[in-house]
Every structure is written in structure tokens, then in C-alpha cells.
Structure 1
Amino acid sequence: MSEQLASLPPKKEPFSFSAWLSKHNHGNRLLSLIIFLPPALLLFTIFVILPLGEAAYYSFFKWNGYGVPTNFIGFDNYTRLFKHSAFETASLNTLKIIVVSLVIQLPLALVVALNIYKKSWSNSVFRLIFFLPYILAEVVAGLIWRFVFDGDYGVMAGMAETLGTEPWYILADREWAFTAILVVIVWKYFGFHMMIYIAALQGVPKDLTEAAKLDGASRLQTIRHVKIPLIISGIKVSVFFSILGALQTFDLIMPLTGGGPSHSSHSLVTYLYTFGITRMNVGFGSAVGVVLFLACVIFAFTYQNTIQKERG
């Protein structure tokens, strides 16, 4: 009997896709790299590395964008940049956007998300309403609010007429123009961060919140000690997008004020556009672009290697 069993062919193992994938995983990864990596590297080199290299090269020349740059001036563009009062104003304004985003916009988005994250038809309606400003193109949003702030024909004009006061041209006021821009930025983008928080809150296990209620925790205590610690990863992502977006603010400012009045409402990007492109000073604009790129890269690497690497 044992001899008969020994002569039988070995039993064939049933096919397992996971075992096959594990066996051929190294080869598949290598094949994926060969197929997908070269096109990605080519596109990244053409559209990112080469333009950055050219911008760094042009920043050492006084050049209007025509012909081949020949007037080499070294670091004069950078020296002029850091001594320019409008650049100081643009840097301060960009810092204001970051502070307002972190102190007002993100907490507002979190408060709204905590109130409408549960699934219901009414909450869905509110989510749509609050998310609508983010759907609008930045230029369209800027034009809408420019009409709202207009002292002759807009909402501000109507309010002034109703109250019997002189019309207020807020976008032409050096002291208040950028404050108006900050209001529009908060209105435009808080819905995006709200949706990030809603997605994170919907992933919080209900068992934990119910256990907290059974233990006698109030709503605020549940939010502070249960919900917020569990969505801290979403908050970190939201902060990252908020700061990086503040460094790149452009489309909203141009239709509202164009950086005016008297260059008082520039961000770093509108400053680059105004003093580099529109004035045909491509060398100087390249220097601004290099400084802005370095600021974004330093922030991104620092944030991802410190804050986002922390356990949370």
C-alpha cells in the first residue's frame, strides 16, 4: 500500500494569486520602474528641472526677455530684491495670509466640520453650500468680491446709501485693501479644509465616542480628547496645504487690487508678476522666483520631515 502511495504523482497545489504575486513581486516592481519611471523623469525634467535651472541662470543677468542674456550682473538682482520696500511688504502680506489661515480659516473649518460631518441630507446641503466658494475659479471669485467691495455700484455702495454715509472704497484704501483680500481668502478656501476634516471625522470609530459619553465626557471633552487626536493627521495635511497655498497666492489678488494701491497688497507671486514680467525685467523676476521656490522647498521638506513624521 505504501509503495502504491509513493508511486502516485505529488498533489498539485491550488493556484494562489497572492502567492504568485509574492513570488514575482521583485520582477513586477522592476518592470513597473522600467515602464513608468523614465516618462515621469522626462516630464519632470522638462517642465520642472530645466525651467528652474534657467530661472537660476537668468537671475544673474539684467535681461528683458529678448535675445540672449549678455549683461551679467552677478547677485545684483538679489541685492536689489532684499532692499526693495515692495518686496518687504509682499513678504509681510504673505506672512499675514499664513497667520490668518492658521488662526481663523482652519479653526473655522474645523468648527463647521464638527457640526456637519454626520451623514444626513441636511448636512449634505450645508457641505455643498460651504464648499461652493472653493469650486469657483479664483479669478471669478475675485471679480465677484470686487463688485461687492465697489464703492460706486457694489454692495458696499448700497450699504453706504442705506446708512446715509459716504461711500467707502475699501480696495483703494492702503490700510484696508489687504484686509479685504484676507476676508476673501478665508471665504474661498475654508470649505476645502472643511472637507478634509469631514473625511477624517467620518473615520473616527463610533465606539470610542459612545464610550466617552458613557464615561460622562461632555461634547467638548469628547472633541478635545477623542476626535481631535484621531484626526490629527488630517489637520497636519490641512496645515501643509494652507501654508503652501499662502506662499503661492496670486489669482485672487490680481482681479481684486492688482497689488495696489501703491503696491500695498502684493503677495510674493504678484510681486514677481508685477516687477518681473509686466516690467520686462525677466532677470529680476527670475531672482524673485528662485527665492520663492527655495522658500516653498525648504518649508515642504522641513514640515514633512518634522511635523508629519511625528506620531499622530
Structure 2
Amino acid sequence: MNAIRPRSRRARLRGSLTILAFILPALALFCMLVLTPIIVGFYTSLFKWNGLGGLPRDFVGLDNYTRLFADPVFYGDLWHTVVLVVLSLVIQLPLALGIALLLNQRLRGRAFYRVVFFAPYVLSEAITAVLFMLILSPSVGLANQILGIVGLDGLEWFADQSTVLLSLFLVITWKYFGLHMILYLTGRQAIPREIIEAAQIDGGNAWQVFRRVTLPLLGPTIRISIFLSVIGTIQLFDLVWIITEGGPSHASETLAVTMYQFGFKRFQVGYASAISVVMFLLSLVFALGYQRYVMRRDLEGATTVLREQR
């Protein structure tokens, strides 16, 4: 027994060292690429700094945050984020779910349709932005030409304050709903066929089977989809910057666009860092709260499975 204990201790030590050897490179990259920028962002947000001439020296404390929370543009950015999140939850995600359920049926050419619907997500944001700038051009755009054919007046899609946000949402939906469609399709295919057939044998119609069986079983996938949609909207930058640069008159501006303008065009890096800190805190609070109160059962289930496998 005494000879076995040292061996078991050595085996545990060897196992711990092996795990540490695998973790250290990833931990080093995490500290270098994630933790360090966060710390630097918090630090520079306390200074008035243009990003040039070495380290920041003009310490201003919380003045950048006081200025930020007194800026109406900041609250406009928050409102635009809320509007885009609500539109995504009400239109984009249900649309993706409906198409996923449709493409789960036995349709001729459904593999082709899956590729077609997912293809926009593969395109880069820059290509998508340029494509829709051409399609929604007020003068030569395809959209206004179609409206003219049916007898309607053309729209100033990205140049009108009343339509720019909805126009951007159209682009965002076209670009990203394919990702959510694939998530829902994968979740639907993971549901055992026997459960659906049992519900149908019990007399459930299509709506009842969807509401009572399919939708609850898709719950974890839907919650992940909502999480990705909200976090992505908070950090939205590429499409907005290329298409409108936040205009006209801040009507489509987001937090990331405002941060970029102050940091890289006006060289007010301290103020831009304060905006980045607020973005980080918004994302962090939402992520922690969402995982704590919405995804709690999903995470507990995953933890239980891992423990059983060990």
C-alpha cells in the first residue's frame, strides 16, 4: 500500500504538469491579447491623450466618463443598439427559425437552398456593405428601380434619418440570419424523430407539435442565438462604418462607430477608451446576467454531463 501511494501521487503530479503544459500557451495568449488590452483601455480612459508622443501623462480621472454620460450622442448610440436588438429578436431570429424548420422538411433541392441562405454569412462585412450601397443607391440602385416599376417613389435609404436605421437592419438581417438558421437547423436535427412521431400519434397537429415539443427542445439553441445576436449588436461596427459612418447626423451611429471616430479621426484616445470601457462593461454585464438567469439550466446540464464522463 505504501508503494502504491507515492506512485499515485507521482501520477497525479505528472497529470497536473501535463495539463499545465497545455494550458500555459493558451493562458499566455489570453493574457496578452485579452487581459492586457482591457487593462490598457481602463488605464488610458483616465487620461486626456491623443495617442501620440509616448505614454499618457495628463491625468483627468473620471472626466472622460462624465463627458460621455453628458453627451446626447452616447444616449443616441444606446438607443440605436436597443432598436437593432429588438428588431433582431422580433424579426431576424424568428425568420431564421422559420426558414430552418422549412429546410428541415423533405424538399427538392433543400441542400442548395441551405447553401444559398448561408452564403451571405460567408461574405465579408466590407463586400456586403459595398453590395448594398449599390443596391440601395438612390439614383441607380436596383431597389429604387423596382419601386419605380410598381409605381412607388424611390427612397433615400441610407441618406434619410427616418430610414437609415431600418435600411441598416435590412443589411444586417441579410448578412447574419444564415448563421442563426444553421444553428436552428442543427438543433432541430438533433431532436430525436421518435419524440416528434410520438407527439403526432397522440393527436397533435403541426402547430401543437411545434409549440409543445419542437420549440421547448430548441430552447438551448434559441438562447445561444439570442446571446450571439445581442453581443454582436452591441459591438456592431464594420457595416455601419463602411455604409454610413454613423450618419446622417448621428442617426445610425453605434458605440463602436463613435469610439472609432474619437480615437482614430479626432485623436481623443482617452475619451475613445472610456467609450470602449463602457462597451466592455455592457457586454460583460449582459453576458454574466444572461448566463446566470437565462442559460443557467443549459450550463448546469453541460457541467453534469462532463462530471459524469469524468
CA shift digits 1:221-265 (9 cap, x unpaired): 111111111121111111111111111111111121111011110
How has the CA–CA distance of structure 1 residues 157 and 101 changed in structure 2, closer, same or farther, with 3 Å as cutoff?
A: closer
Distance, in Å, in 2 between the alignment partners of 1:229 and 1:188 is 27
* Conserved? CA contact 2:64–2:270, under 8 Å: yes
Letter in 2 for 1:97: L
Provide Cα deviations, 1:103-160, integer angstroms capped at 9, x if missing partner. Answer: 1111111111111124666221111111111111111111111111111121134235
The alignment partner of 2:177 has SS state of helix
Identity of aligned residues (%): 38
The structure-2 alpha-carbon separation of the partners of 1:128 and 1:281, relative to structure 1 and needing over 3 Å to count, comes to: same
Letter in 2 for 1:89: G
**Contact 1:146 1:255 (8 Å CA) reproduced:** no
> Cα deviations across residues 169-198 of structure 1 (Å, max 9, x unaligned)?
221101111110011111111110110011
- Taking the aligned partners of 2:296 and 2:133, their CA distance within structure 1 comes to 41
- Map 1:119-134 → 2, pairs under 5 A: 122-134=109-121
Answer yes or no: is 1:47 the counterpart of 2:33.
Answer: yes
Unmatched 5+ stretches in structure 2: 1-7, 302-310
Q: Is the 8 A contact 1:118 1:202 kept in 2?
A: no
Q: Displacement of 1:26 after TM fit? A: 4.2
- Deviating runs (4+, > 6 A) in structure 1? 22-25
Q: Which amino acid aligns with 2:31?
A: T
Displacement after TM superposition at 1:211 (Å): 1.2
Distance in 2, matches of 1:24 and 1:300, equals: 40
Secondary structure at 1:262 match in 2: coil
Q: Judging changes above 3 Å, is the alpha-carbon distance between structure 1 residues 23 and 73 closer, same or farther for their aligned structure 2 residues?
A: closer
Gaps of 5+ in 1: 1-21
1:139 is aligned, of 122, 126, 134, to 126
User: Where in structure 2 are the equivalents of 1:249-268 lying within 5 Å?
Assistant: 249-268=236-255
- Could you tell me which residue of structure 2 aligns to residue 6 of structure 1? none
Give the drift of 1:275: 2.3
Whichever residue aligns with residue 40 of structure 1, its letter is A
Partner of 2:304: none
SS at match of 1:252: helix
Root-mean-square deviation (Å): 2.1
Corresponding residue to 2:104 among 96, 109, 117? 117
Q: TM-score, normalised by structure 1?
A: 0.87
Q: 2:236, 2:98 → 1: CA distance?
A: 25
Distance, in Å, in 1 between the alignment partners of 2:216 and 2:41 is 43
Q: Which residue of 1 aligns with 2:43?
A: 57
Q: Deviations over 1:38-91 (max 9, x none)?
A: 212211111111111111111111110012312111111111111111111111
CA 1:102–1:25 in 2, change beyond 3 Å: closer, same or farther? farther
Shift of 1:282: 0.3
Q: Distance in 2 between matches of 1:106 and 1:142?
A: 21
Corresponding position of 2:235: 248
Contact 2:156 2:163 in 1 (8 A): no
Q: Residue in 2 aligned with 1:217? A: 204
CA 252–206 in structure 1, closer or farther in 2 if over 3 Å, else same: same
TM-score (norm. length: structure 2): 0.88
Which 10-residue stretch deviates more, 25-34 or 139-148?
25-34
Of residues 124-133 and 283-292 in structure 1, the stretch that sits farther from structure 2 once superposed is 124-133
How far off is 1:304 after superposition?
1.3
- Cα distance in 2 for partners of 1:28, 1:128 equals 47
What amino acid does structure 2 have at the position aligned with 1:152? S
**Structure 1 pair 218/163, CA: closer, same or farther in 2 (3 Å)?**
closer
Q: In structure 1, how many angstroms separate the alpha carbons of the residues matched to 2:244 and 2:292?
A: 37
Distance 1:219 1:160 in 2: 37
Q: 1:159 to 1:116 in 2, by over 3 A?
A: closer
Aligned residue number for residue 308 of structure 2: none
Task: Give the direction of change, closer, same or farther, for the CA distance of 1:158–1:47 in structure 2 (3 Å limit).
Answer: same
1:104 is matched with which residue: 80, 85, 91? 91
Matching of residues 141-290 of structure 1 within 5 Å: 141-159=128-146, 161-162=148-149, 167-290=154-277
Q: Give, in whole Å, the separation in 2 of the partners of 1:211 and 1:25.
A: 50
Name 2:20's counterpart in structure 1. 34
CA distance in structure 1 between the aligned counterparts of 2:28 and 2:203, rounded to whole angstroms: 59
Distance across 2 between alignment mates of 1:49 and 1:114: 40
Structure 1 residue matching 2:296: 3-state secondary structure: coil
Question: Quick one: distance in 1 between partners of 2:45 and 2:253?
Answer: 21
Q: State how far apart, in whole Å, the 2-side matches of 1:163 and 1:227 are.
A: 40
1:24, CA displacement in angstroms? Answer: 9.4
